[in-house]
Amino acid sequence: MLYKPERIYVESQVSALRFCRRILQQYADVEQIVVDSSDAIPELSDTGCSITQGKKILFLKKYQGSGFKLCPGFSEEVLCCNYYVLDLIENCPLECTYCILQAFLNKPLIVFHLNVEEIVEQAVSVIKKAAQRPFRVGTGEHSDSLALDHIFQVNPYLIETFSALPNATLELKTKTDLVDPLVGLEHKGRTVVAWSLNPHEIIRENEFKTTPLEKRLHAATRMISEGYKVAFHFDPLIYYPHWRSGYARTIELMFDYVAPRHIAWISLGTLRYIPILKQIAEERFPNISIFCNEFIPAQDGKMRYLKKIRMELLGTISGLIRKAGPEVPLYLCMEKHTVWEDIMPIHPRDAEALEMYLKCGG
């Protein structure tokens, strides 16, 4: 079901902006409260509101600072892919039990940054200045890229902007099938629509309010018929009793729906979390079992599966993908060089080399 907010707070300084006016007109039947700043929002006071309650409220505001930046996952310890993020939305109406946002966001509300043109202009200026290097840019780091676009309607604008940037690729990452707004747009091959995939049983027990696996894949075929390339992210990979058969079935299904030539890239990443997330998630979703395993703290402070388990998961799943689609660029998200060396046929020496391997500017 499409998300609809129960209340909308509007920062006075964005109320005249075009994205704001459109949202307020479209949701004229929803309570709308203009505030001078977030200090005036009771749900953001010390007593606050719960994560679940916060997701029902929309806050339209201006983003201060640079809304175009390197992926927050960047670290010297692991091989990064120089991914950039456009910070347009914070928080998500979907409910994944493992979602880092539950522990990471200091505002429980769903926030739209409505000075869109300003943020996009920052991105365009950086991308044009480095015309010789490829950029991969996503909007799905702090939300789902499609789950809220019936309200925000920012994706057509982004797709049009990126269609004129020959050295950049926009990635819209989702767990939904809300692709109607992407139909009929002039993307010029500069936008990739990506889905996070997991086996049915993991989706059923851990990805609430998302779209079932086969419907995600069906949406991918619709995008292919619109000329888009698609991508898939097996992230987070979950180590559970039937993971071998679960992931084998999922990969088989993915290639049944989508031929390798339509896939821009596939990434793999195992479950990782900051320690406080386990407590928050188990309070919100008392029946989950994904944290019932042996995890160790990594240097970045996140808990990860033991290296032996990570190798088993990544080695098996990358092997299945390579067998069915050897030509598809496949990379590991936030993994150490030693893990790349042990299980991947290629091992880019650094982020720039990985970026070139993904051919995102070509």
Could you list the residues that contact ligand SF4 (CB under 6 A)? 92, 94-96, 99, 101, 143-144, 175
* Min separation Cβ 90 and ligand SF4, Å: 10
Residue 353 CB contacts under 8 Å (≥ 6 apart), including other chains: none
Phi, psi of 40 (to 5 degrees): -90, 5
CA distance 63 to 36: 14
DSSP per position, 264-325: EEEEEEE-EE-HHHHHHHHHHSTT--TT-S-EEE-TTS-EEE-HHHHHHHHHHHHHHHHHH-
* Min separation Cβ 272 and ligand SF4, Å: 12
Which of 269/348 has CB closer to ligand SF4? 269
208 membership: H or E segment, kind and range: strand 207-208
Phi, psi of 117 (to 5 degrees): -60, -40
* Min separation Cβ 356 and ligand SF4, Å: 28
* Min separation Cβ 99 and ligand SF4, Å: 3
Which of 99/314 has CB closer to ligand SF4? 99
Residue 121 and residue 111 in contact, taking contact as beta carbons nearer than 8 Å: no
Which of 158/165 has CB closer to ligand SF4? 158
* Min separation Cβ 3 and ligand SF4, Å: 11
Which of 101/185 has CB closer to ligand SF4? 101
Residue 275, token pair as written in the block: 């320690």
Which of 139/318 has CB closer to ligand SF4? 139
Among the listed residues 116, 150, 141, 140, the one whose alpha carbon sits nearest the alpha carbon of residue 4: 150
* Min separation Cβ 110 and ligand SF4, Å: 10
Which of 92/321 has CB closer to ligand SF4? 92
